[in-house]
Structure 1
Amino acid sequence: MDKTIGNPLSWLGHRLAAGSAHLAETTQAIGGDSGARPVAEGAIATLTVADLRAALRAGWDDLLHSRADAMVLCLLYPVLGAVLVYAALTHSLMPLVFPLLAGFVLVGPLAALGLYEMSRQREAGREMRWTTAFDVVFSPAFGAIAVLGLYLAAVMLGWLLSARLIFEATMGPELPASFGAFVTEAATTGAGWTMGLVGIAVGAVFAALVLATSVVSFPLLLDRHVGVPNAVVTSLRVTRKNPAVILAWGGIVAAVLALGALPALVGLAVALPLLGHASWHLYRRAVPHG
């Protein structure tokens, strides 16, 4: 085949056409397939605490089946957490150390995305390796998943800004002399107690928002081409039908992540894959095949 230099206008036209087609595909992925609807309320299961236990057992089984693969994949998060904490301590962001750690709850559904895919493929009878997690990139719903991920990033940013404002209104605006002094003041002064209580209350609102909108939305996007709006509506319907159970699930997630963060964040390499796999199985129980 002869190699020639094409007409620049023709080349530009082809590139624009390809870009337009890609944009159209991405837009369709965000909105879902033609005729896509949220999962009907009648198709959503009534969950019990037994379902939470079963999801955790199935998640633990997936973790054991994947051997060290899932933990190797999730080693990134302890490292990232340590980097963020170090940056906060060295760049005048000391009051945001604890909000940053708490923020793992807010971005957890996105962080566990590859783990959902691993569980999904194991469920389909395929071999599960750590590289399986990256198959998410080739999902037809990847554009929709990215949009939902940006939503979680925006919520995380809103939480950090709120935490900073709470600090400045209570203990600030001057920064403590050291991290030790900050912890001591937060634990032993009225201003510190006020900051903690207000921070917990505001953080709970952000966590509830993320829990209600994403408890099944990311797994649903991987499983069906329903689009972001339908996935979020379905997640809200699951929460509305099972408020106590979903709240209990949120408490379990927060507790497991807190325990994982205690030993210098290293425990997140186990906590995240366990919760990620379990979240997929909770989705299967909440929204059965159909």
Structure 2
Amino acid sequence: MVASIRVVESSLTTPKVRIIAIDRPWEWLGAGWKDLWRAPATSISYGLLFVAMGYLLVYLIEGQFQYALALTTGFLLAGPFLSMGLYDISRRLEAGEPATLGHALMAWQCNVLPILMFGGLIGLLMIVWARLSAVLFGVIVGGGRHLVLDSSVAQLFFSGSGLTFLIVFTLVGAMIAAAVFVISVVSIPMMLDRKTDFITAVLTSVTAVQANIGVMVLWAALITIFTGIGLITFYLGLAIVLPLIGHATWHAYRDIVDSDDLEQHPI
């Protein structure tokens, strides 16, 4: 029997969060892989949108390394929110319903206000991160320096102030990414799947992490590794990697959140 706890102990309406085994993320990835190939055209097409966004970011920063770093990591902060359509694909496959790209792109309409509130929060965090990145670069490296994506970047970032900036940038970025992970790991699939308000969804996500620290650390590490693989393939790998993570995240939500007592959206 799987142990579970209430998100709010005195509440009769909030869902229970299950305490799960440490090896469950591998099961989520396996289930996500099956979903990917049950609807390959829809999933990969959705993934290709991320690839296009990546190349658009590269074009917009015009080869300036410091901005490429900030925008790429900021783009990844928004990944859980932007993957909403992938959760919808898995939801439809689970229900035996057709899963099209049109359905995936319009998934946010099923619970508009809470989802838009979460999107606004993610947007605010991205703006803060972009500004903070610029400040860190200006203070540590020097605001007047504009780096291009060539061999001089490696020389700078592994010596002197460049190395200091890289370390501080990574630590601060990791803290912000961890905060986003904690509030989003099950909240967005939950808002998509159920008639759940923004606060309840976020509290459920926080409780899920608190109740399953080891599992969530492993899951966050796997997401980071797989996303890194997608990035080092010049974004092309994201066409497969992000659908895999997105589908797996849906199964993580279904595994962790015991929401039988909540009203489910019609497909």
How does the TM-score come out when normalised to structure 1? 0.81
* C-alpha distance in structure 1 between counterparts of 2:72 and 2:84, whole Å: 19
State whether structure 2 residue 25 is matched by structure 1 residue 52.
yes
1:153 to 117, 123, 126: 123
Secondary structure of 1:128's partner? Answer: coil
Please name the residue that 2:14 is paired with: 38
2:38 to 62, 65, 85: 65
Contact 1:77 1:268 in 2 (8 A): yes
Please name the residue that 1:279 is paired with: 249
Contact 1:186 1:195 in 2 (8 A): no
Deviation at 1:105, TM superposition (A): 2.9
**Which segment drifts farther, 167-176 or 221-230?**
167-176
Deviation at 1:134, TM superposition (A): 3.0
Cα distance change of structure 1 residues 51 and 172 upon mapping to structure 2, 3 Å threshold: same
Please name the residue that 1:241 is paired with: 211
CA displacement, residues 221-270 of structure 1 (integer Å, 9 cap, x when unaligned): 11211200110011110011111211221111111111101121111111
The residue identity in structure 2 corresponding to 1:248 is: L
State whether structure 2 residue 104 is matched by structure 1 residue 133.
yes
The residue identity in structure 1 corresponding to 2:202 is: V
Length, aligned pairs only: 250
The residue identity in structure 1 corresponding to 2:67 is: L
* C-alpha distance in structure 2 between counterparts of 1:238 and 1:186, whole Å: 41
* Structure 1 unaligned spans of 5+: 1-34
The residue identity in structure 2 corresponding to 1:95 is: Q
State whether structure 2 residue 208 is matched by structure 1 residue 232.
no
Percent of pairs with identical residues: 30
Deviation at 1:211, TM superposition (A): 0.6
Please name the residue that 1:108 is paired with: 79
Contact 1:261 1:267 in 2 (8 A): yes
Deviation at 1:36, TM superposition (A): 8.7
Deviation at 1:177, TM superposition (A): 5.5
Contact 1:170 1:194 in 2 (8 A): yes
Please name the residue that 2:6 is paired with: none
Contact 1:38 1:233 in 2 (8 A): no
Please name the residue that 2:70 is paired with: 99
Cα distance change of structure 1 residues 98 and 248 upon mapping to structure 2, 3 Å threshold: same
**Which segment drifts farther, 206-215 or 170-179?**
170-179
1:258 to 228, 244, 248: 228
Contact 1:89 1:179 in 2 (8 A): no
Please name the residue that 2:191 is paired with: 221
How does the TM-score come out when normalised to structure 2? 0.88
Contact 1:78 1:268 in 2 (8 A): yes
Deviation at 1:200, TM superposition (A): 0.7
Deviation at 1:85, TM superposition (A): 1.7
Cα distance change of structure 1 residues 65 and 51 upon mapping to structure 2, 3 Å threshold: same
* C-alpha distance in structure 1 between counterparts of 2:108 and 2:158, whole Å: 48
* C-alpha distance in structure 2 between counterparts of 1:47 and 1:101, whole Å: 33
* C-alpha distance in structure 2 between counterparts of 1:138 and 1:179, whole Å: 40
* C-alpha distance in structure 2 between counterparts of 1:235 and 1:256, whole Å: 22
Structure possessing the higher radius of gyration over alpha carbons:
1
* C-alpha distance in structure 2 between counterparts of 1:221 and 1:252, whole Å: 24
**Which segment drifts farther, 227-236 or 99-108?**
99-108
Question: Please, what is the CA RMSD of the aligned residues?
Answer: 1.8
Secondary structure of 1:44's partner? Answer: strand
Deviation at 1:38, TM superposition (A): 3.4
Cα distance change of structure 1 residues 196 and 177 upon mapping to structure 2, 3 Å threshold: closer
